[in-house]
Structure 1
Amino acid sequence: MSSDSGYTWRPITVDDTDTFLRLRHALAEADDTGDHFGRDQVTETFASSYIDFPRGSVGVFTEGGVVEDGEAEGGEMVAYCYLQARTAADPVHEFRMSGGVHPGHRGRGLGTRLLEWAAEAVVPLHLERFPQAPLSLNIGTLVGHTAMEQLFADQGYQQRRWFNTMRIDLGRELPGAPLPEGVTVRTFAPECSEDARTVRNEAFRDHWGSTETSPEIWQQVTSGSAFRPDLTVVAYQDGEPLALVLTEEFDEYRAATGKRDLYIGLVGTRRSARGRGLASALLTQVLARARAEGFDTASLGVDADSPTGALGLYQRLGFRAEQVWVVQSKPIGVGAPVV
């Protein structure tokens, strides 16, 4: 733990959930990210085995007052950063980073110090997993935030890949997309979970920045509080899983906007089944179900340069881009001193 300039720096713990949530809400509102984080998502983040919170996280807190027993009470979290390892280094271990600074505490150098901390803290965490592989730090930032873009440029980050957040109004007429002959659709159930993971891993093997989803991560996804198994579907032909649409619903988004949005977390088709219209057919089925259940919109994120032409597919179905995100990336010299 360290304390300077009116702030205390220390690892984030589960006891910080309330103040962490307040900070995330402030960031979502100030930066218009649409990132409405809920208590369940915080709890699930703390449970991840790919985030080492004691060594791979830091919270910046205002210095607290004094309680009756004379001990200093915890202050409010005004900035944070945590690091998330990947399941593979293919060929680079692209360590993911999440972080932010409360709008009322910007311009004081906290963002710079967080990035400096991350570049140092990530090295031992990387060496424990993939000691022979090169290392980079990656984070997604919203395009158009000039000060943020300058911060990362000053720290040696480069903009590498662009992604669109897209949304469709479910009140509009949805296009039809029939299933190919011989294909059946199953609503997600535990007995088809491994089939769905197989589809996910093969479908995204040629996508930028994607690594294998391990059984552990898949279990976390499909048991998460936001997961909607009743609106998640797997396509089969002759008993072979071919395609997948996985969905989630975030209560915090509904609380913040007054609207129900179905988040489409995954759309994937195995290579051997591409070009048959499976993704379109599954998506239109899911969207129709969502509208019947009372959802107002559906949203998703897509690589602007997806090798499968996903951006065009979503546009044809009626999705429209709302935001553009860019992956900021910085190579880290493993074993080299951080200055």
Structure 2
Amino acid sequence: MPGAAVVPGTAAAPRTTAATGGVAAPGGVAAPGSATVPLAVRAGAPAVVPPPAAVAGLEWRPLGAVDIGGLTDLVGRIEDADDPPYRTSAEEIVEYFDSGHAWSAMGGWDATGSLRAFGFVRVRHGDTSLLRAFCSGGVDPLWRHRGAGSAVLDWQVARGRQMLVETGKEAPARIVVHVDEGMDALTRLIEARGFEPRRWYTEMRRDLSLPIPEVPLDRHLAVVPWSPDLDDAVRRAHNRAFGDHWGSQPHTPESWRQGRTHFAPGWSFVALDRSSDRAQVAGYLMSGRYEQDWPALGWTEGYTEIIGVLREWRGRHVATALMTEAMRAYRDSGMQYAGLDVDTDNLTGAVRLYAKLGYEVTRTSAMYTVEI
């Protein structure tokens, strides 16, 4: 759930955004003139960030891996109360502490020693041309409306500014919060602190009981199962395909392998062009299996984590062939639906493609940012 919403509850950011070809609206830049002003000046980071304000009778201290059990219990209580259409697994909570990010976290404990609130700020090491501080957190349902959420958010914004400067890099930067539809209290809270909506995402599903079309490809193109020996070639293809995608940053071999707790190799595919002596990756589709979400969703689904087609092969039905192959794999595993999340401003025609394949909208979310 990296990048999830702050308070009063937790809400997942798009796990990944499916984009045919990896091209969306150009962007990802900060305010005009930022390129000429050092980040240390733009960020206005405080020299010292104290713990959140002492509210609601909570004692605050840094969260660490030793607190994973209490954090897992707290996230479970929050999601049981808010009933979002997903659930965060214990394995995903462990990923909060992964080495692919610089991270900072605070927890608030009550007098009995129970964790009642938490906040994370995470900055990915691999970000280069755009630096991002992702905020996530939540407050126990029994401890809401006492000021804990505001205290956590104020700490996150201050710490986010500080951590962006600590990267030592000079680039546009932003502090990011993702918000699910219907989270009006959270929206008011972050807007009062200068966050503005920057991007909107649509969750979609496709009924797998409907016929799945056959998609013929050019003679030298073929869709093959994902395999470990293709993985780094897919990573390099992904960096090329998403090089001009809004806000996208390149993956290192290390960052590419992280966050794969629920990766489904058997549901993932690569489109290869064998027109030359050396096969080239023309496109790819990677899937996730989030069984913990299915009771909350009310159906089973194979989830398309990410799909990309390189520029040279766009317009040749590669994306459609990858998606229909994944649909068949989901269906053959007994799934009821295929699911994905798409950036609604995607300029590649992704939303139209998905609708043509039978996908329907289920919910929406938004990315709010403070641009630095």
TM-score tier by shorter-chain length is: 0.7 to 0.9
The residue type paired with residue 61 of structure 1 is: W
> Is the alpha carbon distance of 1:8 and 1:307 closer, same or farther for their aligned partners in structure 2, counting shifts above 3 Å?
same
Cross-structure match for 2:230: 192
Contact preservation (8 Å) 2:81, 2:141 = yes
Contact preservation (8 Å) 1:112, 1:155 = no
The one of the two structures with greater contact order (alpha-carbon pairs below 8 A, sep at least 6) is 2
Cross-structure match for 2:293: 253
Pick from 356, 361, 364: which aligns with 1:316?
356
Matches within 5 A, 1:168-179: 168-179=206-217
Pick from 334, 349, 363: which aligns with 1:294?
334
> Is the alpha carbon distance of 1:211 and 1:297 closer, same or farther for their aligned partners in structure 2, counting shifts above 3 Å?
same
| CA shift digits 1:195-243 (9 cap, x unpaired) | 111221122122212111111011224xx33111111111111211010
**What secondary structure is seen at the aligned counterpart in 2 of 1:148?**
helix
The residue type paired with residue 282 of structure 2 is: L
Matches within 5 A, 1:264-303: 264-303=304-343
**What secondary structure is seen at the aligned counterpart in 2 of 1:47?**
coil
Cross-structure match for 1:335: none
**What secondary structure is seen at the aligned counterpart in 1 of 2:217?**
coil
**What secondary structure is seen at the aligned counterpart in 2 of 1:178?**
coil
Cross-structure match for 1:143: 181
Is residue 2:83 matched to residue 1:26? no
Unaligned runs of 5+ in 2: 1-50
Separation in 2 of the partners of 1:17 and 1:181?
Answer: 51
Cross-structure match for 1:88: 127
How far the C-alpha of 1:287 sits from its partner, in A, is 0.6
How far the C-alpha of 1:281 sits from its partner, in A, is 0.7
Contact preservation (8 Å) 1:51, 1:82 = no
Is residue 2:108 matched to residue 1:57? no
> Is the alpha carbon distance of 1:130 and 1:318 closer, same or farther for their aligned partners in structure 2, counting shifts above 3 Å?
farther
**What secondary structure is seen at the aligned counterpart in 2 of 1:85?**
strand
Separation in 1 of the partners of 2:205 and 2:264?
Answer: 18
Cross-structure match for 1:67: none
Separation in 1 of the partners of 2:318 and 2:332?
Answer: 21
| CA shift digits 1:239-276 (9 cap, x unpaired) | 11010000010231245557432111101001111111
Cross-structure match for 1:163: 201
> Is the alpha carbon distance of 1:253 and 1:5 closer, same or farther for their aligned partners in structure 2, counting shifts above 3 Å?
closer
TM-score (norm 1): 0.86
**What secondary structure is seen at the aligned counterpart in 1 of 2:198?**
strand
